[in-house]
């Protein structure tokens, strides 16, 4: 146990330590120990975990695992009545006592080490943009013979808001809305204050496009592992604080028909002692050879990346033409219809970066960030070239022009097929393992089967009278 944690426990009269970890899908789990039990021995030997009871981890016959506290990742628990310290943990195999291949934090650590080995004196920085909805209530019913959901949101002017097909441009009417239309300014500020209190840097917050309670909290640049931890923890903080205020925070990519979907864009760049390793100052988009290779790698492997970036059946209800979510693998300067945007306001040697726009928050942040890095590094290693940046709005190109630009997958099955065909770049340096990829694909195909077997309410509209 490091001295900082020891001092915090004594100064704050901490009674419990909450050891937190995520499963393969990114959902949080925890086990709580009294501080009298949390000492040097526990920090070294860890706490036993039944891996067979955690989604995607172990079979019953080999379920025993160990959770080792990462004492560099502590923060005060913001939601418990008794004074509690949270500490993130790393999972290891009980026999080998080394990292567990399906532990997402271990994958992120390996990705950072692979970058250090591949490109000397370089590291990566990541800025996530969290989009989500706040609803007054959400009721879901999935019993046999009873299926549906009901969303109640008062922000749009009435409870039981009925989304409708918007007129041209009307679906943008919530963007940067001010009070009284923006009901959630205060709770967003409270969320941001709490995020900063647990060590997550916040850049800003605002109302997003969706008028029925869509919000955005943009975090600030962080190293890879910290960024991945922060996204997962930010979702946890936002959901808990919403619940305390009798609200429901929903990170689904497309919770409502005909309303704006929610993404999780990632600004990213490699850095060295001089600043952004993506900056050249000349040529297309001011990108260096390193930056061009990185962009080309993201585009080359974009379809396979979708299996991690857009890993839910709901993801592909967002990735449709007409909204801001991209559907084609192109890069541009300031053009939000492309999968990769180079922000027009960030083109200096200090901060030139790229924004990868397809991901959403049903992803596991540790896995999707690691996968994006691996795709970019593969593009650099192979000397790939992304060509000229796109200068036109993809939504206004004709079919023949669009056919020349690779498209993102149209559904989850297509994304998983792409990952099965294109995954060697993820295995470089042992960052991802075939075991992890197989487990991920199996879990996601099972989700597809479960979805396919259930009648959809809209099917009754279409077929019940035929």
pLDDT in tens, 6-16: 999 999 999 99
Q: Tell me how many degrees the CA angle 9-13-15 measures, rounded to the nearest 5.
A: 80
Q: pLDDT tens digits, residue range 217-235? A: 999 999 999 999 999 999 9
pLDDT at 56 over 60: yes
In whole angstroms, how far apart are CA 80 and each of 49, 86, 232? 23, 10, 19
Domains and CATH numbers, the chain: 12-100 (3.10.20.70), 117-463 (3.30.590.10)
> What sign does the dihedral 309-353-380-427 (CA atoms) show?
negative
Q: Contact 200/219 with Cβ under 8 angstroms?
A: yes
pLDDT of residue 303: 98
Question: Could you tell me the sign of the dihedral formed by the alpha carbons of 228, 323, 138, 446, in that order?
Answer: negative
Phi, psi of 254 (to 5 degrees): -140, 80
Pick from 366, 86, 120: nearest CA to 224: 366
Is the pLDDT at 157 greater than 90, yes or no? Answer: no
CA angle 436, 439, 441 (to 5 degrees): 110
Task: Tell me the backbone φ, ψ of residue 342, rounded to 5 degrees.
Answer: -100, 110
pLDDT, residue 400, reads: 81
Alpha-helix residue ranges (DSSP H) falling in 301-433: 302-309, 315-318, 365-381, 399-403, 412-421, 424-427
Can you tell me the mean pLDDT for 268-287?
91
What's the pLDDT score for residue 60?
A: 53
Contact 312, 447 (CB under 8 A): yes
- Measured between alpha carbons, how far is 317 from 130 in angstroms, rounded to an integer? 18
Active site residues: 50, 129, 131, 208, 216, 265, 336, 355, 357
Name the token pair of 425.
């770049």
Q: Report the distance separating Cα 333 and Cα 339, nearest Å.
A: 11
Q: Give the pairing of strands 84-93 and 331-333.
A: unpaired
Contact by Cβ (8 Å): 338, 332: yes
Distances (CA, A) of 296 to 127, 330, 378: 20, 9, 9
Assigned token pair, 420: 């099965």
Q: Is the pLDDT of residue 384 over 80?
A: yes
Q: How far apart are CA 35 and CA 17, in angstroms?
A: 6
| Euclidean distance between CA atoms 379 and 343, whole angstroms | 21
CA–CA separation, 376 and 294 (whole Å): 4
Q: Where are the alpha helices (DSSP H) in 175-288?
A: 185-197, 224-244
3-state DSSP call for residue 9? helix
- pLDDT score, position 371: 98
Q: Kindly report the average pLDDT of the chain as a whole number.
A: 91
| Region label for 132, one of left (φ > 0), alpha (ψ between -120 and 50) or beta (otherwise) | beta
- pLDDT tens by residue, 410-451: 999 999 999 999 999 999 999 999 999 999 999 999 999 999
Q: Is the pLDDT of residue 392 over 80?
A: no
């Amino acid at each position: 146990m490091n001295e900082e944690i020891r001092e915090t426990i004594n100064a704050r009269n901490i009674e419990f330590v909450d050891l937190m970890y995520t499963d393969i899908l990114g959902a949080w789990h925890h086990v709580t120990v009294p501080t009298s039990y949390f000492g040097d021995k526990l920090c070294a030997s860890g706490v036993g975990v039944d891996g067979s009871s955690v989604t995607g981890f172990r079979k019953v016959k080999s379920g025993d695992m160990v959770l080792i506290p990462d004492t560099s990742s502590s923060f005060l628990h913001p939601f418990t009545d008794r004074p509690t310290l949270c500490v993130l943990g790393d999972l290891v195999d009980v026999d080998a006592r080394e990292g567990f291949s399906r532990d997402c934090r271990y994958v992120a650590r390996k990705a950072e080490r692979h970058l250090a080995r591949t490109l000397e004196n370089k590291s990566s920085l990541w800025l996530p943009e969290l989009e989500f909805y706040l609803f007054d209530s959400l009721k879901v019913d999935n019993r046999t013979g009873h299926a549906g959901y009901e969303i109640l949101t008062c922000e749009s002017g009435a409870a039981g808001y009925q989304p409708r097909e918007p007129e041209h441009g009307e679906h943008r009417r919530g963007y940067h809305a001010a009070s009284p239309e923006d009901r959630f300014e205060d709770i967003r500020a409270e969320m941001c204050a709490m995020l900063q209190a647990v060590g997550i840097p916040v850049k800003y917050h605002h109302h997003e496009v969706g008028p029925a309670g869509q919000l955005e909290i943009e975090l600030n640049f962080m190293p890879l592992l910290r960024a991945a931890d922060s996204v997962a923890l930010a979702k946890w903080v936002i959901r808990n604080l919403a619940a305390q205020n009798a609200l429901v925070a929903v990170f689904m990519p497309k919770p409502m028909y005909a309303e704006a979907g929610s993404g999780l864009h990632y600004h990213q760049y490699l850095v060295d002692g001089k600043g952004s390793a993506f900056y050249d100052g000349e040529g297309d988009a001011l990108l260096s050879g390193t930056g061009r290779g990185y962009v080309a790698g993201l585009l080359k492997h974009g379809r396979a990346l979708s299996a991690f970036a857009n890993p839910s059946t709901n993801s592909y209800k967002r990735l449709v033409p007409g909204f801001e979510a991209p559907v084609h693998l192109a890069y541009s300067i300031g053009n939000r219809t492309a999968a990769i945007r180079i922000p027009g306001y960030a083109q200096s040697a200090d901060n030139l970066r790229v924004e990868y726009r397809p991901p959403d928050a049903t992803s596991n942040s540790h896995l999707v960030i690691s996968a994006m890095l691996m795709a970019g590094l593969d593009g650099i290693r192979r000397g790939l070239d992304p060509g000229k940046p796109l200068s036109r709005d993809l939504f206004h190109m004709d079919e023949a022009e669009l056919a020349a630009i690779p498209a993102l997958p149209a559904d989850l099955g297509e994304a998983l097929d792409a990952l099965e065909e294109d995954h060697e770049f993820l295995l470089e340096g042992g960052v991802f393992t075939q075991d992890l990829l197989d487990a991920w694909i199996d879990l996601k195909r099972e989700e597809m089967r479960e979805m396919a077997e259930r009648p959809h309410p809209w099917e009754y509209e279409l077929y019940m009278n035929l």
